[in-house]
Copies of this chain bind each other. A is one copy, B any other.
Amino acid sequence: MTDTPPITDLSDRAQRLLRTLVESYIREGQPVGSRTLSRTAGLDLSAASIRNVMADLEEMGLVSSPHTSAGRIPTAAGYRLFVDSLLEVKPLDSREVQTLRERLSPELETKALVESASGLLSAVTQMAGMVRVPRREHASLRQIEFMKLSERRVLVILVMNKNEVQNRILELDRDYSAGELQQMANYLNDRVVGRDLASVRQQLLREMKAVREHMNSLMLAAIELGEQAVAADQGADDVVLAGQFHLLDYAELTSVEKLRQLFEAFNEKREILGLLDQCIHAQGVQIFIGQESGHRILDDCSVVTAPYEVGGHVVGVLGVIGPTRMPYDRVIPIVDITARLLGAALNSRL
């Protein structure tokens, strides 16, 4: 009963010391000794007393020493406790929020908006930023049009909202006249407009089965064409990274081999995509410290993510990757606010 929430095991003093230690290590990047703690923790204890506490903390697996006579550094568990119970999150000052808001203008088109968000995350935190591009399942469809390109090729135009238009080129099974295409578009517009892509797709599939016999072939073709048009959300399996190079600044990641692997992973994106997708259903900011993310390559890193919403649905995730000793008190609100602002920007153009 006393070991699952280790916080109850910890005296105020131990908590205070752990907190000071973590803060100091995050700031300086160097092991913290008892002497330093006795000076900075404001507890008016001698170094010797502090050493006793540190020995306890070490036994609990919250801190460790790189070698006998270095100070202590937090372990992953130490960071975890720190983040969960000891951290005081600094609210961003309104000037910073204002800057973020300006750079995430609803006027931008989706891609630019996402790139801007990723760039901002990296610039503001001095770490790597990442944004999972928004899923479109719940984006509602405003209008659908066909445009004949050549005999069997037709351009499908899906108008999503004020600032976003998608188009796809489809290969048809036979030649349709411009008039036929217009009819098909009208037919589809009648029954899909204002609905979201996912439900449109479902409905089209349903209708296709239901009316196959007693329906004229043009309608059937229309449905099929519509289905094809809204089917694959191509390119949606993507994530936009920015500022990876910032990670070169952190000495603790300096094993060239590790760095290489990390950058290779950034290049491939697959792993990052998996990471982000796995926390798309979490509520609010989520933090993975060290191995918690489950991805080997990120063992020495921490990841802070937050989902963002449009129209009440989570449509994507964004976050940053940095060293485990990142300034969580700043990073957490930044990621949080950026997610809200990105959501808001996407939302306000529906």
Binding site for B on A (CB under 8 A): 142-143, 145, 147, 149-150, 153, 155, 157, 159, 162-163, 165, 167, 169, 242-245, 248-249, 254, 256, 259-260, 263-264, 266-267
> Please, which residues of chain B bring their CB within 8 A of the CB of A143?
149
Nearest-CB distance from A81 to chain B (Å)?
32
Partner of A157, one of B142, B147, B150, B245: B147
Interface of A is mostly: mixed
Partner of A155, one of B159, B242, B254, B260: B159
Say yes or no: A163 contacts B159, CB within 8 Å: no
A34 to B71, CA, bound (A): 51
Of all chain B residues, which has the CB nearest A161?
B149
Nearest-CB distance from A118 to chain B (Å)?
11
Nearest-CB distance from A45 to chain B (Å)?
39
> Please, which residues of chain B bring their CB within 8 A of the CB of A157?
147, 155, 157, 167
Of all chain B residues, which has the CB nearest A164?
B169
Of all chain B residues, which has the CB nearest A260?
B248
Say yes or no: A249 contacts B244, CB within 8 Å: no
> Please, which residues of chain B bring their CB within 8 A of the CB of A263?
244-245, 248
Of all chain B residues, which has the CB nearest A259?
B248
Of all chain B residues, which has the CB nearest A264?
B245
